[in-house]
Amino acid sequence: MVGSRFRYSRWDGTQKGFELDAFDVLGELTDDLLYHGDPMAALRRLMQEGFEDRNGERVQGLREMLEQLRRERQERLENHNLGGVYDEINEALNDVVDTEMQGLDDRQALADMQLADPDTAAADRRNAELARDTTAAKQMELGMLPDDLANKVRSLQNYEFESAEARQQFEELVDKLRQELIQQQFQQMSGAMEDISPEDLARMKDMMSELNKMLEQRSEGIHPDDEAANFQEFMEKFGDFFPGDPQTLDELLEQMAAQMAAMQAMLNSMTPEQRQQLMDLSNQLMEDMDLNFEMNRLGQNLQQMFPDAGWQQSYNFDGFDPLGLAEASQMMQEMGQLDRLEQFLRQATSPQQLAEVDLEQVRRLMGDDAAASMERVAELAKMLEESGLIQNKEGRLELTPRGLRRLGQQALGDLFSKMDPNSLGGHDIDRSGIGHERAFDTKAYEFGDPFNLDIGKTVRNAIQRAGGGTPVQLTPDDFEIERTERQVRSSTVLMLDLSLSMPMRDNFLPAKKVAMALYSLISSQFPRDYLGIVSFSEVAKELKPADLPEVSWDFVYGTNMHHAFKLSQQMLARETGTKQIIMITDGEPTAHLLPGGQPFFSYPPARETVELTLAEVMRCTRAGITINTFMLDPDAGLRGFVERLTELNKGRAFFTTPQNLGDYVLVDFIEHKRKLLTGRGRG
């Protein structure tokens, strides 16, 4: 932007910003993705639990939001009561009566003064006596007014006021009550109802009549082809009643149903006496021009169309703060919104659904923090998808290859964060390598070296030797070649126990995290190496790295090392370099393959199972395959078996726990590479 100025300062860790990105989200999902392998399920759990961003700011999950909704609802119920609806109207009517009584008292006092004056003319005396009698009758009439609101209003409507001030006060009160009752039924009409006139009421009756006609057509299954045009015509005639500017008939009806249901909930929440008095008052005030009939008709139609809008809902307000009619109506609107928001959140199954929530309403009901959290949670899946970490395939979220690599890096980072940062590094050796990795250094060519000629330095040597000019004459002494790092290829198969005991003993997640970390380590640091993965339970299966996130345990009994060693040996037979098997298990072999290929299971382990498994170990040993075993259980049977295995194979065995499994496996793998890769060559 032209003219804009920006100021920058050094990042010191205290400034806010960079709150959340897709990699952060994936980091929060790592354990869930590794355990269950389902991005949508992992997002759903993150949505439920919430998390902290990189600044330590809390992003609320749905559980916290639902608890806040419960508190918001409880606070309203404990602080307010609905008795004020009745009391407010009754008090206003009493004020009218008091004003009239004061006028009558003043008139009676004037009549008494005239009658007490002996000089009062006969005609004036007769008028004073008539005024005194009339005043006494009116005072008696006011003193006998009914207690219930509707009959009190009816009596005052039929009463001839002596006080012009009281008459005006009463007329304004009636207009206000009628306006408030209409507003409570149709809150969105408040903009049009500031000054009710007979013409307004007539148009409102016509509006509701047309609306009822459209609703009844729908209930009869009649959907005119020009329904949208009919609605547009309706809005042109009556749009001033709806400042919210609904765009469709459905949107308008849904709003009106929510508002009328809120009014009904207020009635349901009152005592029977309060409810009856308010209903009678409403009927009394709305009887003009059949307006009450059309309102009741509309309410019945909306109940049929929206049966779940909360028409039967009631609330137990037991606080001390009385609510007037307008305040009670607003409170009912909020209670209904809290209920609907709670229902929506309880039914939400994915973050994307939260994008449908009215954030302004959430901000008004629950505050800025809740609204901000809901907005950020709603963007989780979109953020991952736009960053290329997940993709939507036929409605199902899946990790992309990029997401798979990042998940492996995350698992690797989690494990390395607990390890010595110097565990992984290069070491110099004293001879030139034959691999493909450039060392960004050169040496004079010697017979037998790979002819990786550095053209620039070779030409420079020739110019330094012979001087400038063209063409440049090269001799063998000018040749300079690029050094390369020594590359020794190794091939590894990770044998991963997926028998039922792994999740039962909480060993599954650490083992799977090691598999992902090892995949990430080899693919990023040793790209020429081979990593194969074999899972085993009742039988063994070859896994591809892309399958790892979705791999879960098998709901069967059996630890078939026999089949796993056989399959691993077949996979390594196709590879070159040094060969090893890394086995992670928490149990001794309890299954083997029969000659026909069917699995055989026995616990305690059958002698045949153990012998066949050790026979496969011997075949691996003869093929030059080293077997390193990581045990996750101190069971004596497993220890005894692994001791025999290592005696035959000369590999190593480690007893580990779920907490330090990653340390053992990765450090051992790196140490193995260090023995093979002794550093950079010198000519």
Is the separation of the CB atoms in 462 and 472 below 8 Å?
Answer: yes
What's the rounded Cα separation, in Å, for the pair 550 and 361?
39
523 pLDDT above the threshold of 70: yes
Give percent of the chain with pLDDT exceeding 90.
7
Give percent of the chain with pLDDT exceeding 70.
80
The per-residue pLDDT for 424 is 38
What's the rounded Cα separation, in Å, for the pair 236 and 230?
10
What's the rounded Cα separation, in Å, for the pair 256 and 417?
57
Q: Give the pair of three-digit tokens for residue 340.
A: 């609907």
For the chain, the domain total comes to 4
Burial class (CB in 10 A: 0-12, 13-18, 19+), 1: exposed
The per-residue pLDDT for 422 is 43
Partners of 512 in the β-ladder: none
Check whether residue 182 and residue 268 sit in a common domain. Answer: yes
| 420 within a domain of the structure (yes/no) | no
Return the beta strands (E) in 292-377 as ranges: 321-322
What's the rounded Cα separation, in Å, for the pair 544 and 567?
14
| 429 within a domain of the structure (yes/no) | no
266 pLDDT above the threshold of 80: yes
Check whether residue 478 and residue 502 sit in a common domain. Answer: no
Side chain identity at 23, as an amino acid letter?
F
| 479 within a domain of the structure (yes/no) | yes
Of 338, 366, 387, which one is at a domain's C-terminal end? 338
Check whether residue 96 and residue 53 sit in a common domain. Answer: no
The per-residue pLDDT for 576 is 82
What's the rounded Cα separation, in Å, for the pair 313 and 73?
14
Check whether residue 104 and residue 64 sit in a common domain. Answer: no
Q: Give the pair of three-digit tokens for residue 593.
A: 């393959």
| 682 within a domain of the structure (yes/no) | no
Closest CA to 480 of 464, 497, 502: 464
Of 338, 364, 386, which one is at a domain's C-terminal end? 338
Cα dist from 7 to 15, 55, 215, 388, whole Å:
14, 22, 60, 33
Check whether residue 301 and residue 380 sit in a common domain. Answer: no
Of 484, 500, 518, which one is at a domain's C-terminal end? 484
Under DSSP, is residue 406 helix (H, G, I), strand (E, B) or coil?
Answer: helix
Q: Give the pair of three-digit tokens for residue 55.
A: 């600044």
Return the beta strands (E) in 473-547 as ranges: 480-484, 490-497, 530-536, 540-543
The per-residue pLDDT for 674 is 60
Check whether residue 152 and residue 276 sit in a common domain. Answer: yes
| 89 within a domain of the structure (yes/no) | yes
Question: 192 — phi, psi (to 5°)?
Answer: -90, -10
The per-residue pLDDT for 483 is 63
Task: Calculate the average pLDDT of the chain.
Answer: 77
The per-residue pLDDT for 508 is 77
262 pLDDT above the threshold of 90: no
| 408 within a domain of the structure (yes/no) | no
Check whether residue 242 and residue 276 sit in a common domain. Answer: yes
Partners of 392 in the β-ladder: 397
DSSP classification of residue 309: S
What's the rounded Cα separation, in Å, for the pair 166 and 276?
27
676 pLDDT above the threshold of 90: no
| 168 within a domain of the structure (yes/no) | yes
Peptide bond into 471 cis (omega under 30): yes
Is the separation of the CB atoms in 585 and 508 below 8 Å?
Answer: no
Please tell me which of 356-370, 468-482, 514-528 the model is most confident about, judged by mean pLDDT.
356-370
| 433 within a domain of the structure (yes/no) | no
620 pLDDT above the threshold of 80: yes
Which residue has better confidence, 559 or 9?
559
Is the separation of the CB atoms in 548 and 516 below 8 Å?
Answer: yes
679: enclosing H helix or E strand: none
Peptide bond into 401 cis (omega under 30): no
The per-residue pLDDT for 565 is 94
448 pLDDT above the threshold of 60: no
Check whether residue 530 and residue 641 sit in a common domain. Answer: yes
Q: Give the pair of three-digit tokens for residue 667.
A: 């450090």
Check whether residue 293 and residue 392 sit in a common domain. Answer: no
Side chain identity at 42, as an amino acid letter?
A
Where is average pLDDT lowest: 92-96, 165-169, 630-634?
A: 630-634
Residue 679's pLDDT band, with cuts at 50, 70 and 90, is very low
Cα dist from 419 to 414, 425, 462, 525, 666, whole Å:
9, 13, 50, 17, 9
Q: Which residues of 243-262 are buried (b: 16+ CB within 10 A; e: fewer)?
A: eeebeebeebbbbbbbbbbb
Q: Give the pair of three-digit tokens for residue 243.
A: 């400042």
420 pLDDT above the threshold of 50: no
Average pLDDT for 514-529: 76
Residue 2's pLDDT band, with cuts at 50, 70 and 90, is very low
| DSSP string of 545-590, one letter each residue | GGGGGG----SS----HHHHHHHHHHHHHT--SEEEEEEEESS---
The per-residue pLDDT for 224 is 60
Check whether residue 267 and residue 194 sit in a common domain. Answer: yes
Question: 632 — phi, psi (to 5°)?
Answer: -110, 15
Average pLDDT for 434-463: 67
Q: Give the pair of three-digit tokens for residue 625.
A: 């395959």
Crossing angle of helices 325-347 and 359-366, in 10° steps, is: 120
pLDDT tens per residue across span 88-108: 888 888 898 899 889 888 888
Where is average pLDDT lowest: 77-81, 201-205, 311-315, 606-610?
A: 201-205
All residues at 6 or more sequence positions from 209 whose CB lies less than 8 Å from its CB, including other chains: 294
Residue 612's pLDDT band, with cuts at 50, 70 and 90, is very high
Which residue has better confidence, 133 or 656?
133
Residue 17's pLDDT band, with cuts at 50, 70 and 90, is very low
As a whole number of Å, the end-to-end CA separation of the chain is 58
Domain span at residue 205?
83-338
Under DSSP, is residue 490 helix (H, G, I), strand (E, B) or coil?
Answer: strand
Check whether residue 656 and residue 542 sit in a common domain. Answer: yes
Average pLDDT for 236-256: 80
Check whether residue 310 and residue 323 sit in a common domain. Answer: yes
pLDDT tens per residue across span 302-346: 888 888 888 888 888 888 888 877 788 788 888 888 888 888 888
Q: Give the pair of three-digit tokens for residue 652.
A: 């190593």
Peptide bond into 595 cis (omega under 30): no
